Chains A and B, each alone.
Chain A
Amino acid sequence: ETGVTQTPRHLVMGMTNKKSLKCEQHLGHNAMYWYKQSAKKPLELMFVYSLEERVENNSVPSRFSPECPNSSHLFLHLHTLQPEDSALYLCASSQESRGGFTDTQYFGPGTRLTVL
């Protein structure tokens, strides 16, 4: 299997549910990202794990919790979400050097999340 994969592709959940999104990259990259894509809005960066360190966007609500157990896997744990959290959640990976250069990002197909 190649590239960046995400599961599930579609998810419908209630506001009281707990679910997790999974991302796996098979490209040997050392940086992984979570983005939120809503209609008519730019891609919003949520979290970055780069060189095994987490770079957090402080504006992301605590009901979203990332986990990066190793450089190939990234999770986004969801709990008590709101209907406005319904969106396409995209995972991406890239190769980043110690000098800080970020190479091209490769995106997964995304998880279409609907919160009822």
Chain B
Amino acid sequence: GQNIDQPTEMTATEGAIVQINCTYQTSGFNGLFWYQQHAGEAPTFLSYNVLDGLEEKGRFSSFLSRSKGYSYLLLKELQMKDSASYLCAVSLASGGSYIPTFGRGTSLIVHP
């Protein structure tokens, strides 16, 4: 089965750094996605990790450890517009396909 855990809510200050963790217990793992979803909008892709290590993309970085079933999303130089829900999704094998399964999302509130 699968179990994807991430904190429900986090707060941080503008200009700071925040790390959002995601842990998973799954079989048939094929990779991990992070999506950003602003209130009332569709999720948008941030990053994809399939190998262990850190992937850096501008102010956002994502890390994966497959042996530990652990990932984090690191947001640097926080801006007010980064206030959103951050969704961790694990790509799992299912009937010959790989289906993304989502966690509950972490609501990030950035304050001045």
Contact = CB atoms under 8 A, between A and B. Distances in A.
A22 to B, nearest CB: 15
Interface residues of A, number: 23
A102 B89 CA distance: 12
B97 A48 contact: yes
Interface string B94-112: 1111111111110000000
Interface size range of chain B in the complex: 20 to 34
Contacts of B94: 55
B97 A102 contact: yes
Contacts of A102: 30, 91, 97-100
Interface stretch (A13-21, A61-69, A72-80, A103-111): A103-111
A31 B41 CA distance: 21
A43 B100 CA distance: 10
Interface in B79-98: 87, 89, 91, 93-98
Contacts of B45: 104-106
Contact of B33 (A31, A42, A45, A104): A104
B42 A100 contact: no
A105 B95 contact: no
B48 interface: yes
A96 B98 contact: yes
Contacts of B44: 107
B97 A109 contact: no
Given A105-B45, A109-B41, 10 more contacts: A4-B42, A43-B89, A90-B43, A96-B97, A100-B98, A101-B30, A102-B98, A102-B100, A104-B48, A109-B42
